[in-house]
């Protein structure tokens, strides 16, 4: 008898998988085959962290939560109660077992909302971090701070020139409200959009800025445990209205559409990167274990030069020390053996012996 799964949760899982596929697609398009393939291997000794890989990591948390929920629900959660009893009998006797049972049976929607709120916060924070890396700090400081200095001068002059106290107070309030030398994310995203090649950015900038601003405000609700304080706002996406109402928590009318809306940030970032002149090094943070990487190169060289199958297990064991997974080690070994057949000797030697 096949398991029955919840349609709504399956739709959420599908949307999350679409985000992962989108990230893989853009990673390959923007960074090329080499980085794309290395990251797909998930090796423990080399990884190119970037916007798309970070978004995949965030998506994985929600995927694991929802997939485990569906698996658990499909077997009527019997093993959950067995697990609770196992822990109570052998590890820690929790006094409020009924609360745990209620958590897994009756409070899924509340937990889902909380988990997806974390998802929203994490995705926008990642977007903010990687957009900020595109900004030349000296250039933006020169441009924005100079503009603010001019505003300060004009307001101070106006304050000194007028005699009317009401006018003085108005000028003084404007001076107080100027942000000084602080560069906000809104400043940065506006700065970035001024720098892009509009002929390459095949999206509607005004609409994208509205979406970014709405999601930014949503993210900032984390400081108020999800409660929005401010003027009521409405943002429409795919014919669904998302409302921010003063003094209320944000209500998600449809989770799968909300996930899709956040996926727009992935497209926006990709199109910005493809439409702006930027030093490519700021897009990637390379994490590498040099010693393990050199061992790996030696193993590849050994695989290429030796046809002796007696050393197969030794090679696998060496790979396992780096990759920490026997099954994956065998798969990578077999992949390298197949790869060796299609590559010229001089090309392999150049790759293997390179220190780059």
- What's the pLDDT score for residue 100? 83
Distance, in Å, from the CA atom of 149 to the CA atom of 169, rounded to the nearest integer, reads 19
Inter-residue contact 120 to 262 (CB < 8 Å)? yes
Domain locations along the chain: 7-132, 289-353
- What's the pLDDT score for residue 352? 41
Q: Find where tokens 């997806």 sit.
A: 116
- What's the pLDDT score for residue 160? 83
Inter-residue contact 250 to 218 (CB < 8 Å)? yes
- What's the pLDDT score for residue 131? 94
CA 70 to each of CA 66, 85, 205: distance values in angstroms, whole numbers, following the listed order: 6, 22, 39
Q: In terms of Cα–Cα distance, which of 194, 247, 188 is closest to 216?
A: 188
Q: Which two tokens stand for residue 198?
A: 């509009």
The total of other beta-carbon atoms located within 10 Å of residue 100's CB is 16
- What's the pLDDT score for residue 180? 67
Residues 6 or more apart in contact with residue 98 via CB below 8 angstroms: none
Q: In terms of Cα–Cα distance, which of 253, 250, 230, 229 is closest to 240?
A: 253
Binned average pLDDT, 10 residues per bin, the chain of 356 residues? 80 96 95 84 82 96 92 76 86 87 83 90 95 83 74 80 80 75 85 92 95 92 82 90 87 89 96 90 83 69 59 63 61 56 45 41
Inter-residue contact 232 to 244 (CB < 8 Å)? yes
331 alpha carbon, distance to own chain's centre: 28
Dihedral Cα 259, 264, 270, 272, nearest 10 deg: -150
- pTM score, whole prediction: 0.78
Question: Residue length, the chain?
Answer: 356
Inter-residue contact 228 to 245 (CB < 8 Å)? yes
Q: How many CA atoms lie within 13 A of 330 on its CB side?
A: 3
Q: Which two tokens stand for residue 266?
A: 């992935």
3-state secondary structure of 240: strand
- What's the pLDDT score for residue 330? 61
């Amino acid at each position: 008898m096949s398991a029955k799964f919840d349609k709504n949760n399956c739709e959420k899982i599908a949307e999350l998988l679409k985000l992962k596929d989108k990230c893989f697609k853009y990673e390959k398009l923007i960074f090329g085959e080499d980085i794309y393939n290395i990251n797909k291997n998930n090796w423990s000794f080399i990884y190119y962290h970037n916007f798309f890989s970070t978004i995949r990591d965030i998506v994985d948390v929600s995927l694991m939560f929802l997939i485990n929920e569906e698996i658990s629900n499909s077997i009527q959660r019997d093993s959950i109660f067995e697990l609770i009893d196992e822990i109570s009998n052998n590890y820690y006797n929790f006094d409020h077992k009924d609360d745990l049972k209620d958590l897994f049976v009756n409070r899924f929607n509340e937990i889902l909302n909380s988990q997806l709120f974390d998802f929203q916060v994490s995705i926008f924070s990642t977007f903010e971090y990687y957009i900020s890396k595109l900004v030349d700090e000296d250039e933006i400081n020169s441009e924005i701070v100079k503009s603010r200095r001019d505003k300060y001068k004009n307001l101070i002059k106006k304050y000194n020139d007028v005699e009317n106290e009401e006018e003085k107070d108005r000028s003084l309030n404007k001076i107080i409200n100027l942000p000084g030398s602080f560069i906000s994310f809104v400043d940065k995203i506006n700065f970035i959009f001024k720098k892009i090649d509009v002929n390459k950015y095949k999206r509607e900038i005004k609409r994208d800025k509205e979406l970014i601003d709405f999601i930014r405000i949503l993210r900032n609700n984390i400081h108020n445990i999800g409660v929005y304080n401010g003027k009521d706002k409405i943002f429409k996406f795919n014919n669904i209205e998302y409302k921010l109402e003063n003094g209320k928590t944000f209500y998600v009318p449809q989770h799968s559409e909300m996930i899709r809306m956040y996926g727009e940030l992935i497209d926006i970032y990709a199109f910005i990167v493809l439409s702006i002149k930027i030093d490519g090094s700021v897009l990637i943070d390379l994490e590498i274990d040099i010693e393990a990487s050199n061992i790996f190169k030696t193993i590849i060289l050994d695989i290429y030069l030796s046809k002796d199958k007696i050393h197969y297990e030794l090679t696998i064991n060496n790979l396992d020390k780096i990759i920490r997974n026997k099954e994956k080690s065998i798969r990578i070994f077999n992949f390298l053996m197949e790869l060796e057949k299609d590559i010229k000797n001089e090309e392999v030697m150049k790759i293997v012996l390179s220190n780059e």
